[in-house]
Structure 1
Amino acid sequence: MVKRKRPQVDVNVDEMLLSLSLKSFGFFQISQFLLISSTGVVVTSTIYVIVFAGSHTDFKCKNLTDVQLENFTTYTSIDHVTYETCNIKVYNEAENASLVDSLNCINGYEYTPSKERSIISQWDLVCSKNGLAELSQTCFIIGQIASAFIFPILTEKIGRRPMHITCGFFLMLSALICTFSSEYWIFVLGRILSGLFEEQCSK
């Protein structure tokens, strides 16, 4: 069997793209570009949002009230109490500043700057709850892993375009859940769903 040689044709890709951009660049191309770009912004923001939402802030225990200080009988002076990050220490200066008692932050925590800056300060994810902010990102990755097993099968049955559009819609919905969540577990649920749908949208 004799193989025929295909004639070589010189193709200038730059001129081809330039001619297409000058002649047929209109509303359709602009709308497609904006649609693809907006999808990329949503997908990227769901991945890196934890960098800003989970930022660490300086904190210490809130001051004890006058009534609480009176429970220490003779040790009621504010000079005898130190407020640290995870505990409150009461000292007796009359006895060489010996430690009288150590308390948990019974009145909560005081953050610098404001409490609404991150999820750590909003839900007090410090001290005994330290690490829960990072756990939310782990849950996001778990959602991505689950997506790799679920959506390829659904894509084969339904089609890539319907699945991509559906996942894009639910990705924005899960991002709204994270944004307006009032409890930590709701935020974690939103992160799992974000990871689940983000993996499909990024393909």
Structure 2
Amino acid sequence: MPLIVLDRDGVINQQTSDHITSVEEWVPVPGSIEAMAALSRAGYQLAIATNQDGLALGLLDLDDLEAIHAKLRALVEDAGGEVAGIFYCPHSDEDHCRCRKPKTGLLDVIEAEFDTSLHGCYMVGDRLKDLQVALAKDCQPVLVKTGHGTETLQQLIDEPDERLIGTAVFDNLAQFSQFLLQNPPSSPQ
């Protein structure tokens, strides 16, 4: 089954503040849950890769994070889909870890967990670091304009990065899902 890697905050849920610290603050972007379910039903495995430095900063604890992820999973399941895995970096920038995007540690773990290469798979995000980690793992970067996506798009226009020319840009995860389902890849990823 082909794999799609999704960032969480700003892609699946609304980015209402710098840190989502409770289940109550975690609100899906309209259409994102249905988009994930549709992709899952179409045979895609969905892996979420998310930086969660709120843990290191003491803004939430592991129980809070697990509750947020349980809500996310339940909503996708209620819509008829499945989240194959959620992978997160609990560190802050000051920790200089390998797993904080744009470093590749989270994607390395996803490859190991699913015993596959992410070469050519889609990586959907709203920040430059999502696109950078996609390139570092030879994924196909996809930018959505939700969350920080509009700011990221403007940054790419103002300061072009030759490696990111041709990055697919969609209004939101629902639009990306609709595009992919109507235009499936000609060969397995």
Structure with more of its chain in helix, by fraction: 1
- Normalising by structure 1, we get a TM-score of 0.21
Which structure has more relative contact order (CA 8 Å, sep 6+)? It is 2
* CA radius of gyration, larger in: 1
- Normalising by structure 2, we get a TM-score of 0.22
